[in-house]
Each structure stands twice: as structure tokens, then as C-alpha cells.
Structure 1
């Protein structure tokens, strides 16, 4: 039975909600779909009851009676967890389809954002950021930043195969995608959609999908199934990945997820099964997957414990495999052996003639983690950037000949510079300091202009591990205060901007020529404590000690993207030996749009534009708000990847969005 079947214009999104004995959480799930900002006129909700006996079907009928966009549908039991989803797909009319579990809910603006992203970028699948109220595991790597258009080979999207995503319905119908008739068959559907999509988008700047709390009751779709129930779905995942990819690195990228998660996960579950089932029912299937789908190139990328399990599977050694799995926890802490510049895991099978397992299964050289931490970055002298931190290779103590190097690599070039660090703690301590002299670091010459990324080459017992440096750093570390113009050789000046990259927060610095003829440098930019919407900029003339200019006028300048300019006076400190000054910029008087903030020296003569100095964006400058003719406005600094000049976005506050954000907080 169904309610409220609609005709007329096709909706943008069909939200399919499979439900079975889902009281009372089904009400919240359906309500979160009904209250989407995309609007009911552009939405249809298909709630499919799968033989509930707790009043779920009646609750769906009640909700449908008050909502024309909601269809309450009865599904004949059968077809596993995918059965009610397939029923929903058969009825769906929207341009896009979204699957919502009854234990979860959507953020109010989720569907509008996801549909807009798919429309603008022509993508077939959109992932919205998932969050959990009580610490349940949710994907994190894929949601570090928005991705307008990507795929499974260049992103972490394939790590999350739950169907709670936005799918273009034409993709589903073109490839006749449906959920397989097995208990845990959701993931093969998502995998097939991923591998056939024209593109994938990621919305990471909004909490789109909220997992239900554990206290709200178990979610049938996420209940852990026995190995026998999971086996069919696992086989479908391998079949799907093989069907839609060709042998080679791209297939290995996809298969690696299934080898590590599905195959190795199933191997670890074998001891929980009966001896007969483990040997005769499950082991032959798992061995076939290892032989058919784990290429030698993929094998080399696995961890040592995974390589050992796959090797024993391939070699048809059931007893040895069960022994390895049963003792895995204790064997994981047996330490390492360094031999001929390689590091090996000291597992009992390592170089045991009776075990006859190749050394490759125990090689952890390229997987030893490096623990590193950035504790400080600041200027030491006129042109030297001093970096402080600590670094050590896990499980290996450095020998007397070992050392750590700071490695600088110029982006988009082959330049690489190494400089040894100076121990900064007690003997054997991982603490260090390294000085980067911008004027002499390149063999006595200044560093070339460009973006330089910072790495560490950490050595211990002859083993070298090179890692990107900076993403682990002290809370509150403000490298923005290290931005400055420095001497970069005789008669040369360079602008150096240290910053943390987005989204991984690694340390880099940008070297560029100092603004030609720049009359001054900025030392501070803050909002006035009592005059709302007024930016106060402080600085000094260049070179240091220059007296306040005569016949020329220094102005704080705001320039709109359309070319409009607003100049404001600068006040010099009377008698100050360094030419110190302050200026106030009444941002509250600027019209809406983007404004760049600089300091310009007017009346300097010449035909070109007046010399200017950028006002650098402070590392922690917040936004500001004020009232203009009774309407709230705001100014927001635009920050990202090492900007050199402060830009402000001025606009009226969207009242509905502000109220929604306040209520959410």
C-alpha cells in the first residue's frame, strides 16, 4: 500500500527511507528529510516499511497524511536489507536519490548544498560530511576539505561505501544498479556507482549526515552480521571492482580497500567460527579471493601482518594461518631487527626454516612511523627563520652516526636543499632546532622565489625516513607572526610568508620579491575594541628610522574588486625615531563586496601607481559585525594558503542562516 503518489513536475531529490521496527527513531529521520531547506515542492520522500510489527507502518501513514511530499509504502518481506531500497528506487522520480537510514538524520541544509554541488560540477555522486554525536567511527580523511570534482583513484571517497549519499538517478538507471538480495548488500551498490560515475563531489564544510546515537537503538543496517551472512556481499564487492576496472594500478587502488577490509577482516574472524566451517566453508573462498584479486603490486603495499596472512592463504596453509591470527595481538609487540638497511618484524615465523615464509612478509622499513612535532617557528636575526621541534623513528634508537636533516623542496621544481639540525635537549633527546637563512641557504646564495615545503629526514640505525613536517604542532602556535620582509643578499629584499597548508596543515613558506618601493611595513592589524567595524593598522616606515615623509602623504587604502578606492589618513607618532604610525579603516562604511587593504604613499611623483605595502592578514583576526540602518552587516577576513594581503568580504548578515546557526549551536 502507498499513500500520496504524486504526479506533476519531477522533484529534484527522492529521499528513500527503508524502515523496519524503527520506532520511535523513524519519526526524527523522516522529519529531518521533510524539513530540508530545498523545499517540499522540490522533494519527494519514499518511506518503505519492511514488515514492521512495532507500529512503524502506522507512524509512516500518519506522517504521510500531513505531508504531500511523503509516500508511505509497504514492501513485501524479502530481498535482504536492499529489498526496501529497491522498492523505493522503482518508485523514485527525482533527478537525484538519497538513502536515509531510520536511525540517522539530515542536516537542515544538506540536500540543497549537495544538489547545488552536483549541478554545478556535473558529478554523479555527492558525499556529505558525516558526524556522530557519541564518538562512533565516521570517515574523516575524505571530509578534510571540499572537493568539487574527484574520483575514487585520487581521493579517499572509496573508503566509505555506505549508501547514505546523493546519487544521480540517471546513473542508477543507465547501469541498472540495484541492491543485491543479501543481508549486507548495501556496499556493492555504492561501489558500482562510484566506479561508473562521471565524477564525485565532497561537501565537507557542512554537517550533512548525523549518525544516530547508540542510545536510540540498534540500526539494522549496521548490525554486525556473522561471517556466513557477510560472505556473499564480500564476493559481490570483489566482483564489482573487477567488472568495472582493468588490471593495473587503478584496479589495485580499488582492490586494496577490499583486500584490507573485507578479506583480511574475514581472516581475522575465522577463529570465531567452528573449526569445520573455518577450514571447509570459509578458507577456500578467502583463498580464491587472495589468488584472484591480490596482485603482486598490491601485495607490496600491504602492512606486514596483512602480507603474512595473504601469503599463507595463497600457500594453502590453514593451520599456520589460524595460528598467526590467534596470536596476532601478542606477536604485534615483538619488536624489530635491523639488517642491511632494512627493518624486519620479529614474528615467530621470521627466518624460521620450518615456517618457510619470505622476508618480504616481515619487512616494515617503509612503514615505520616517525613521531614528529613542530614546537616553534620564528625569526632569529635579520634573515634567519628558526624552526624548533622533535622527531624520532618509532622503535629505533639513533646511533652515534645518525642525524636528522631539515629538507626544503621548492614546489613545482626539482630544487631540494638539506640542512642538518642542531640537538636542543639532553643527549639522545629528539628535540632539535634548525636555522633557515633566507640570504645564504642555497650554498651561500639566497633561496629562490617560490613556495618551499618543509620535510624531515630522520635517521636511526642507518634507516632513513622522510616525512612532511608541521601538521602536528603546539596548540596556539602562531606562525603568522613570522611573516616579514627580510634581507636576502646585498641590496636584495624578499618577502617571506610561513603558513600551514590546507587542508593537511603542513609547514611551508612562500618567498617572493619585496613590494617594489614599499614605503612601510605593518606590525599589527586589529579591530578597534569599542568602535565596531573599525580596523586599526599599526606600522613603521621603511627603511627603519625613516622620518615621517614631507611632501608625500601615506594613506590606508581599501580597494574594491570593481576598482573603487577609499583612502584614509595615517597618524605618525610625534618624534618617534622609527617613523611609527597608526591608521583607522572604517570598514562599516564600505559597500558590500571584496576589499583589498594596503598602505599607499601618495604624491611620490612618477607616472606609475603610488608605492604600496600590503597589510598582511593577521593569523587570528576574527570577523566583525555592526548595524547599518538597522540591518546587521559583517566583515570577514579571507584566508587560505599563504595570502600576502588582507582581503575583507563585506556583506549583510543573512538573518535566516544566522538564526539557524545559533539554534544549531
Structure 2
């Protein structure tokens, strides 16, 4: 008798996951998608706290088929996920962290959305429990979009529904050489290769749980690993997207989320040696990937800091960070009858610093709240045209999943 193919393989990589694993597995068992339509591949990555034993106990009583694999510790989440993906038989794969849990009806709703819209990736709304969760992409449910027409580039964690044929066709696996950010690399590649992405924003599908013991992979690792992560993601984007506005749009993500925090308030507490190393690690990334298009997409304080990193000016960066740490607000300098706004952070129009005025120029969205600012009618018109273009791009221009842009 032929066993029907499951709709979803839930891959759970688990390391020292007790007691969080109890609620995680309970959330899988409570799914409304029929148990015959789900399989679970759970990989215990060398736990010593009873995680492996609890997985085996769950496998013995679960209504759906559960395969438990126990292995030596691999040191990170990529290995267990790859092992689980290699064993998966479902039409779709969902990567569930053992600390977290699924929302009610999550798998049923995500599978239905993917089937209805023939999309390769589905993002279900995420809520944080004792930790922050991404928010900017949940404005509305989108049946079919792509990474260029929405805010999904700001959620690159692996906890999404992926069509397995997409992953197998392109031989996609998690990069086991990366100790952090491996999911960002995997998910961005999936977005770029996908024949459409769906966003399910009106139902919580995933609860991102902050561990009380602080043992969460995203908090671990030295600062050098963050540079490794940024470098890998920037390289992937450059390889898959031609130079131009769309590449710049995606590059904002690694610059803003991964690189910029290395030159935030923590930088003031770093030793001189660490500061020098951070500038050395950033230099090739800035030389290769930092463009005017990326810079224009950032707020003034973000753009200024990265400009000073690119220019190799640590002494000026320190002044800016101390200004920010003191929670000072920069004076607004209005020109052209209020249509141009500069935010006068340290070294604005300081001849000895020689930082270009353009670095301090507030883009329309940042200038909007400044008293006396008057929007340029041309800028307003361009924004309206851009919004209209984004609304029609997924169906008329980009084709399925934005493949034309990613080719």
C-alpha cells in the first residue's frame, strides 16, 4: 500500500531545548491540518538535558509520523536543519525552532495559501513572547508578492513555509560554515528564486519565544561572526541581482540590520583593538557594496555613521555616537524655502571634517515631521508613482515571484 505524500514536513532542530520543547511539540500536535498530512523530522543535536528522550517519547504517541534522529553536536542550527531537509518527503517544508511554537491552524492556513496562489514561500505572521519579533511586513495579507514589492527582506529567519521542489531544484541547503545569519542567506535565496511569495498577516502562525536563560542562537557569537554573515548575504545579493535600484533596495537589509549595529552605542565600549578590527572588516564591504542608492534609503544618522566607516574616520564616528548616546536632537537646517532639510549632526559643514552636505540631507519621509518643511511637489509625485508601480509590479511587471529581476 502506497503511503500518501504529506503536505508538510516540519523540521525541528533541537539542542538543549527543555522545557520549551514541550510546548513546541504540543503546538505541532494541535495543528488542524490532518495528522496524515504532516510528518515531523526532529534532529537532536547532541543534547544532554533530556531533549532527545522527550522527542522519542513524543514520537511514540503522536498522531502523525515522527522521525527522531540523534547526532553529535554540530555547533549550530544549520546541520540539524540540513539533516531534516534531506529526509523530508512533504510537498512543503516548515522549519520550527524547538524553543518556539506554532500558532493554531498555522500549517492549514499556510498550505492553503500556497496552494491557492501557487506560491513557493509563505510568511505567516510572527509574534514575540519575551522578545521582539519583526513587524514591518505584517501590514496586510498579500496573496502574491516578491522581495522587491514588499517589506519581506526584513524577515529572513527560516520559520516559513517553503515549497520543497523549489529547494531541491536549486540544491538549497543552509550554509554550515556560518555560525549566525545562515537563515538569512537561505531565505533571501528562496525569495529571489521563488515563483511568488505569500504573506499571511491576519493570523498569528508563529510564536517567537525568548528563553529566560538567555540561551538563544541569535544572541551568541562574537562580533566577527556578524561580519561573516553580512559578507555572505551581500555576496549572494550581488550574485543574483544586477547592479541598480533593486540590488540597492536589498542591500539595505545587511547594511542596516547586520553591519550598522557594529557601529552603534556598543562601539563606544569597545577596546581600541576591536574598533580597529571592525573598521578593517568593514572596509572591503563598504568598498564593494556601499552605493549612493543604499545611502539614500537610510536615515541621516544611519547614513552618516556608515559614511564615516566607509571613509575610515573613526574619530568622527566617535563624536556622532557620543552625541546620540546623550540623546541630543540635531538642529534642522531648512533651505530652498523649507523644501530641503539638513539634520545637523556633529561635523555638519565643518570644513576640517569635509563630510559632504548630502550625507546630512533628510529624505522626504524623515523630513516630514520637521517644522517649516514643505514637501517638494516633484518628490510627492514620484512617491505616488512609485507606490502605484509597487501595487501592480507582482502581477504585471515582475512576473511570477519577480524572477525577471533576479535573473
TM-score band by shorter chain is: 0.7 to 0.9
Residue deviations 1:613-634 (CA, integer Å, cap 9, x gap): xxxxxxxxxxxxxxxxxxxxxx
Counterpart position of 1:270: 267
Which residue of the other structure, out of 332, 341, 346, is the alignment partner of 2:344? Answer: 346
Q: Is the 8 A contact 2:282 2:309 kept in 1?
A: yes
Query: Aligned residue for 1:206?
Result: 203
| Structure 2 counterpart of 1:323 | 319
Question: Which residue of structure 2 aligns with residue 23 of structure 1?
Answer: 18
CA contact (8 A) 1:331 1:347 kept: no
Task: Report the counterpart of residue 443 of structure 1 in structure 2.
Answer: none
CA deviation vs aligned residue, 1:456-506 (integer Å, no higher than 9, x gap): xxxx2x6337899xxxxxxxxxxxxxxxxxxxxxxxxxxxxxxxxxxxxxx
Count residues in correspondence.
Answer: 373
Deviation >3 Å, runs of 4+: 269-273, 367-370, 462-468
Which position in structure 2 is the counterpart of 1:251? 247
1:59 maps to which of 54, 57, 81: 54
Q: Paired residue for 1:111?
A: 107
Query: Could you tell me how far 1:71 is from its partner in structure 2?
Result: 1.1
1 CA distance for matches of 2:363 and 2:92? 47
Q: Deviations over 1:362-393 (max 9, x none)?
A: 112624454xxxxxxxxxxxxxxxxxxxxxx4
- Kindly report the root-mean-square deviation, in angstroms, between the aligned alpha carbons of the 2 structures: 2.3
Map 1:288-327 → 2, pairs under 5 A? 288-327=284-323
Q: Write the deviation string for residues 50-80 of structure 1: whole angstroms up to 9, x where unpaired.
A: 1111111111111112235111111322252
In the aligned structure 2, how far is the partner of 1:319 from the partner of 1:175?
Answer: 46
Q: Alignment partner for residue 164 of structure 2, among 162, 165, 169?
A: 169
Q: Which residue of 2 aligns with 1:75?
A: 71
Task: Name the CA distance, whole Å, in 2 between partners of 1:133 and 1:318.
Answer: 37
Deviations 1:596-653 (A, max 9, x none): xxxxxxxxxxxxxxxxxxxxxxxxxxxxxxxxxxxxxxxxxxxxxxxxxxxxxxxxxx
How far did residue 27 of structure 1 move? 1.6
Q: CA deviation at 1:204?
A: 1.6
**CA apart distance, 1:43:** 0.8
Residues 252 and 77 (structure 1), Cα distance of their counterparts in 2 relative to 1, 3 Å cut: same
Instruction: Name the CA distance, whole Å, in 1 between partners of 2:349 and 2:245.
Output: 31
For 2:9 and 2:192, locate their aligned partners in 1 and report how far apart those are by CA, in whole Å. Answer: 22
The equivalent residue for 2:364 is 366
TM-score, with normalisation over the residues of structure 1?
Answer: 0.53
Correspondences of 1:38-53 after superposition (within 5 Å): 38-53=33-48
Aligned pair in 2 of structure 1 residues 237, 326: CA closer, same or farther (>3 Å)? Answer: farther
In structure 2, relative to structure 1, the CA distance for the partners of 1:170 and 1:272 (3 Å cut) is farther
Q: Deviations over 1:92-143 (max 9, x none)?
A: 1111100111221112311111111111111110000112345x32223322
CA distance in 2, matches of 1:332, 1:346: 11
TM-score w.r.t. length of structure 2: 0.85
Q: For 1:337, which of 330, 333, 338 is the aligned residue?
A: 333
Q: 224, 228, 235: which is aligned to 1:228?
A: 224
1:495-538 Cα distance to aligned partner (Å, 9 max, x none)? xxxxxxxxxxxxxxxxxxxxxxxxxxxxxxxxxxxxxxxxxxxx
Relative to 1, partners in 2 of residues 1:130 and 1:288: Cα closer, same or farther, differing over 3 Å?
same
Report if aligned partners of 1:79, 1:180 keep a CA contact under 8 Å in 2: no
1:26 Cα deviation after fit: 0.4
**Equivalent residue, structure 2, for 1:189:** 186
Which residue does the alignment assign to 1:472? none
- CA shift in 2, pair 1:366/1:171, >3 Å: same
Matched, 1:463 2:387: no
Alpha-carbon distance between aligned partners in 2 of 1:206 and 1:189, rounded to the nearest angstrom: 24
Distance 1:322 1:276, change over 3 A: same
Which of the two has greater strand per residue? 1
Superposed displacement of residue 220, structure 1 = 2.3
Secondary structure of 1:100 counterpart:
strand
Could you tell me how far apart the structure 2 residues matched to 1:226 and 1:327 are?
A: 26
Shift of 1:247: 0.7
Greater helix percent: which structure? 2
How many Å separate the matches in 2 of 1:331 and 1:346? 14
Q: 1:368 to 1:205 in 2, by over 3 A?
A: closer
User: Structure 1 residues 81 and 213, CA, compared in 2 at 3 Å: closer, same or farther?
Assistant: closer
> How far apart in 2 are the matches of 1:465 and 1:330?
33
CA distance in 2, matches of 1:270, 1:172: 39
Deviation at 1:159, TM superposition (A): 1.0
CA distance in 2, matches of 1:291, 1:331: 31
- Describe the SS at the equivalent of 2:26: helix
User: Structure 2: any 5+ residue segments left out of the alignment?
Assistant: 381-407
Task: Tell me the CA shift for residue 196 of structure 1.
Answer: 1.0
Q: Return the alpha-carbon distance in structure 2 between the equivalents of residues 212 and 261 of structure 1.
A: 20
Shift of 1:305: 1.4
Q: CA 1:189–1:368 in 2, change beyond 3 Å: closer, same or farther?
A: closer
Q: Secondary structure at the match of 2:375?
A: strand
Question: Displacement of 1:314 after TM fit?
Answer: 2.3
CA-CA distance at 1:257 after TM superposition: 1.6
